[in-house]
Copies of this chain bind each other. A is one copy, B any other.
Amino acid sequence: MTIPNHPPSTLTSQQTRLLARQNTITNTAGYSPGTLQANLLILPQKHSTDFHNLCLRNPVSCPLLGISSTPGNPHRITPSPCIRTRDFDLRTDCPRYRVYKHGKCIADNKPDLLDVWPHPHPHPHPHPHPHHQQEEKEEEKYTAFLIGCSFSFESALHNSNLTPRHHLTSTIVAMYSTSIPLLPAGIFTNAHCIVSMRPYREEDIDRVREITRPYLATHGEPVDWGWDAVERLGIRDIEKPDFGHSQVFGVGEVPVFWACGVTPQMAIEAAGEKIDGLVFAHEPGHMLVTDWGVEDLERLKGGLGAFHQE
């Protein structure tokens, strides 16, 4: 399928995913606005229950948008409205990927995962090779988790004349480790919540909270704000973010902190040697664009179970 050379803001989510598959795009910010973009975390099946529980216990930093329908099958996500197209492959449809082993990143900026997750599930190829199916049984079965990303609420802030600073300065949002514990689940213990920070004037905070509040499935309203919050969150130096770029504060501006989708990758690092097998993730900023729209946010509040009949 050839994708016309249209501006990112006019592409459907499937068009963006196909561009990512062809590796003709990188950062997905601004692509297919109105759809929800996802952080990707793919683990060996044996760890999937623990990781699922981790997300359910920490929905502000790890809000679930979808899960592999069947372990080992990279083509289907449950609930089905998350990815509606039959032509879908978790291993190619993000622009860039990372690989973790024992909690350490061992490869980054990979264009696809076809070499590390080699055996395609028979579907969607109509005539699978018989010995491929045989071998597949001995392969590691991977389960993917799609986790909400803040790109969606950033558009909403922009549309309300509260454009995040890092958009205006073309930098990467500042991210910090905090003292807020990620509530443990199985092997996932001793991790902490990562927050992203956007400067706003004190008098705008109520509006900023209101605008991002409905986006529960993509981190929702801020977890804390104001200069006092820096100490409360255990951040040592606001000018030295742990990830991304330091942000400039204007007169009367204070830091506003949201939970951040980098948190699940930190949970993988904290679990370290307890993880048996490889873990795959998207490259930060290079997200998987889903078919969820902002119009699904209200129903997503009720949990993914609400969509299981669809």
A156-184 to B contact mask, C-beta < 8 Å, 1/0: 00000000000000000000000111011
Q: How far is the CA of A224 from the CA of B182 in the complex (A)?
A: 10
A297-308 to B contact mask, C-beta < 8 Å, 1/0: 001011111111
User: Are A181 and B59 in contact (CB-based, < 8 A)?
Assistant: no
User: Are B216 and A57 in contact (CB-based, < 8 A)?
Assistant: yes
User: Are B303 and A181 in contact (CB-based, < 8 A)?
Assistant: no
User: Are A302 and B301 in contact (CB-based, < 8 A)?
Assistant: no
User: Are B60 and A221 in contact (CB-based, < 8 A)?
Assistant: no
Q: Which of B56, B184, B216, B221 sits near A184, CB closer than 8 Å? A: B221
A53 at the interface (CB under 8 A from B): yes
User: Are A213 and B57 in contact (CB-based, < 8 A)?
Assistant: no
Whole-angstrom distance between the Cβ of A6 and the nearest chain B Cβ: 35
A309 at the interface (CB under 8 A from B): yes
Asked, given contacts A181-B232, A232-B181, whether A220 binds B302 with beta carbons under 8 Å apart, the answer is no
> Which A residues fall within an 8 A CB radius of B?
53, 56-57, 59-60, 179-181, 183-186, 209, 213, 216, 220-224, 232, 259, 299, 301-309
